[in-house]
Structure 1
C-alpha cells in the first residue's frame, strides 16, 4: 500500500492547469478548486475536471498524481478510462446512423447480427435497437459471476455467441434493467451497420477524427506514457488496480479532458446533428405498456444518458462510470448549458457526487 502525505497532495493540487477561462468566471474557477482539493490524495490519487458552458471551456485542470511512484501529475492531456461513460458515444454513433436512415429504432437486432436469434428464449417479440439503447432488452449480464467466462481478451463476438444461447432475465420492453450486455450488442450492431471491423473504427471515423480527438481510442490509450495509472483505496492509502479489456460498446474509451472539451463543444453545437437527434438523446424511453423508464431512484434514461432533475430544479443528463482503477462522471445541465466532467484514477472515488456538487454550486 502507498500512503500519500495529505499536505503534499494538496500542494500538488495547486498545480492545476486551466486551458481557458473567461475573466468573468474567475471566481467560479476558484470555487471548483476549493471543492476539488479536499479529495486529492485522500479519496483518489488524482483527477481531472472540465467545466464548460454551452460548449465554451471555462475550466480544464488536472489535480494530484497520474502515477504515484513516478510523481507524474495529472494534466488536461492525461488519459483516463471512461468506463460506462463510454456508453453515450456508442449511443451517439447509433443516433447518427438513425439520422442518416441507415438504422431504425424499431429494427430487430438479429437483422444486423444474425448470430442472435430473432426471438430469444424468454421473449414474446424481437429485441429492437430501441431496447438496446434504453436497457429494456432483458439480457443477462455477461460480467456477472454466473455469466460468461470472461477475461481481458474476451471479444464482442464471444459475448454475442454466449448471449445467443442464454435465456433472457426479463421479457423485452417489460422493465428498465441497466445492461452492459445490451451496449456490447449495440456496439457490435453499430459496427455491422457501417461495415466496420470494430466500434473503435466507427467512432474514429464518425466522431474522434472529425472532432480532432486524436488522443481518444477504445481498448487501450493511444499513448501509454500519458495514461493515468489506476488505483484502489481510500484515506490516502492506494494500491494499483488495473484490468484492460477488449470488449467494446459498454466501456473502454480512453480519453482526456482536452479531447472531451472538443466532444462537448460538438454536443452543444449544431454541426454534429440536428435538433431532432439531440431531442432523442435526451428524451426518456418508455416500456411496452407506455410507462416512462424509471431506474428505481426516480431517474429516466435516454440514449446513453440518465435523466433526472437536480436540487436546483434543473433538467440533467448524466452518466457515471466505474472500473478497475477508474471513476468517471459526465454531467450536462440541459436548462443552463453547464457541463461538468470528472475523471479520477481512484476506483473508490465518488466522481458523480463531485460533479453534482460542482454543477449545483455554479448553477445556483
Structure 2
C-alpha cells in the first residue's frame, strides 16, 4: 500500500508540479529516508552558520549505495564571502587514519604484513622500549620513572592505539607532553623526516604498557611508515595507486592541487584551534618534505569520502573494484579493545569500542546518538566526520571547517541523519 501511494504521488506531482501539500503518511521516501525529514538538515545548519558555529558545511547521506542527500551550506571562507560548494575540499585530519588502516589490511591479505609482527621488525629503534611507571618514596610522594616494557609493541597495537604512544596535546603526563613537544614528534614546527620521527619517538618512554590501554596517538603515523616500508614506496603514492585511483577518488591526496585552491574550505580566523591545526596540516606543502602524516595529512571531499565509506559498507568492494575481502572488513569493524582501559569516547561519544582504524558501536543503546550495533565512525580535528552503518545500509559524510565546534556538529548531523530514517 505504501509503494502504491508513493507511485500515485509521483504521478500526480509530475502533472501538477511540486507545490502539492502532502499528508504525513504520503510523504515521499527515498531508499527509506523521508525527503521531508532530510529537508530539515539545511535550515538547521543555516541556523548554526548564522550563530557562528561554523562558516559552512557539506553533507552527504546514502542508503543502499544511492545518494539521497548531498548539499552545500554556508560559506567556504572565514569572511563568509564565498559560497560553499558540494565539490569543496577540506583538511581531513584523522579521517586519514581509515585510509592507512585499509591499506595495511590489504597488505595483510597479501601475506606481507601481520598483526603479530613486532614493530621492531620494521624499525629496530623500538626493540627495547621503556614505559613510564609511578613509584612512591618512603614519604609517600609519587614520581615517574622509565622502566623496561613488559612486551614489545605489535603492529596490532598501531591499528588500535594501544602501543603506548600519545599526542602532545592529550599527553597523560607533563613529562610526556614536554618530551613530545621538545622533540617536535608531530612535525608541527619543523619538517621531521621519517628517520628522525622514528628516532625521536622511540627515545621517549611509553605512556602505558603496550596492549593494556587505548590512548589516541601518533600510532597511525607509525603504521603509515610500516606500510611505506612493506610497499617499498612513499605512503601518499601507495594510497593513490592502491586506494584513491581504483575507487575514483579524484579529489583525495596529501597535497592541495592548484585547481582545488578556490574550493578549499577554511575555518573562522577567530577559532582558537585553527592556527596550530592548520600549521600541522600544511596541506599546500609537498608531504615528502617531512614524514607523510598517515594519521592526519589527507585533503578530502564529500563525494570521494562517500566512495571510500561505501566500499567499506559493501564489504570491501565498489563498482566492481575489490579493495578488501568481506571477512577482512568485518574483522576491521569488530571491537579490538575488549577488556582494556581507555575509550575513544572523546571522539565517538560513549558506547563505542575501537576496531582496526575506527570507532565501533558496542550496542544499540549507551550512546549519545542513534545507530546500530557494529556501526563504524571516525572524525577529524578540523570538523569532519563520517559514519558507516552496515545494518541500516547507510553512509553519512559531514565536512566542515570548525575545529572548536567539531563535537557539536558531528553529533548534530548524525541525529538529523537518523531522524530521516523511516523505513
**With structure 1 as the length reference, what TM-score do the two structures score?**
0.83
Between the aligned partners of 1:301 and 1:293, the Cα distance in structure 2 is 10
1:200 aligns with 2:236: yes
1:52 aligns with 2:62: yes
Q: Which runs of 5+ in 1 are unaligned?
A: 1-20
1:327 aligns with 2:374: no
80, 86, 105: which one aligns with 2:90: 80
Q: Is the 8 A contact 2:33 2:421 kept in 1?
A: no
Between the aligned partners of 1:286 and 1:189, the Cα distance in structure 2 is 22
Q: Is the 8 A contact 1:233 1:346 kept in 2?
A: no
- Per-residue CA deviations over 1:20-59 (Å, capped at 9, x if unaligned) read x779753243132233222124211111111111322111
Deviates most, 219-228 or 336-345: 219-228
Pairs within 5 Å for 1:10-25: none
Between the aligned partners of 2:274 and 2:211, the Cα distance in structure 1 is 42
Aligned position for 1:159: 197
142, 146, 151: which one aligns with 1:125: 151
Between the aligned partners of 1:140 and 1:23, the Cα distance in structure 2 is 42
**With structure 2 as the length reference, what TM-score do the two structures score?**
0.72
Q: Is the 8 A contact 1:221 1:255 kept in 2?
A: no
- Per-residue CA deviations over 1:74-117 (Å, capped at 9, x if unaligned) read 11211101111211111111111111211111111121223x22
What's the Cα RMSD here?
Answer: 2.7
Give the superposition deviation at 1:346.
2.0
- Per-residue CA deviations over 1:188-239 (Å, capped at 9, x if unaligned) read 111111001x2111110111111111111114456222211232547xx999
Aligned position for 2:161: 135
1:209 aligns with 2:219: no
Q: SS at 2:39's partner residue?
A: helix
Between the two proteins, the alignment pairs up a number of residues equal to: 334
Q: SS at 2:376's partner residue?
A: strand
Between the aligned partners of 1:341 and 1:67, the Cα distance in structure 2 is 20
263, 277, 293: which one aligns with 1:226: 263
Give the superposition deviation at 1:356.
2.1
Computing the radius of gyration over CA atoms, which structure comes out larger, 1 or 2?
Answer: 2
Q: SS at 2:405's partner residue?
A: coil
292, 300, 303: which one aligns with 2:356: 303
Q: Is the 8 A contact 1:108 1:127 kept in 2?
A: yes
Aligned position for 2:329: 278
- Per-residue CA deviations over 1:255-285 (Å, capped at 9, x if unaligned) read 1112122222322233322111111111111
Distance of aligned partners of 1:239 and 1:134 in 2 relative to their CA distance in 1, 3 Å threshold: closer
Q: SS at 2:399's partner residue?
A: strand
Q: Which runs of 5+ in 2 are unaligned?
A: 1-29, 132-148, 172-176
1:314 aligns with 2:351: no
Q: Is the 8 A contact 1:84 1:251 kept in 2?
A: yes
Q: SS at 2:380's partner residue?
A: strand
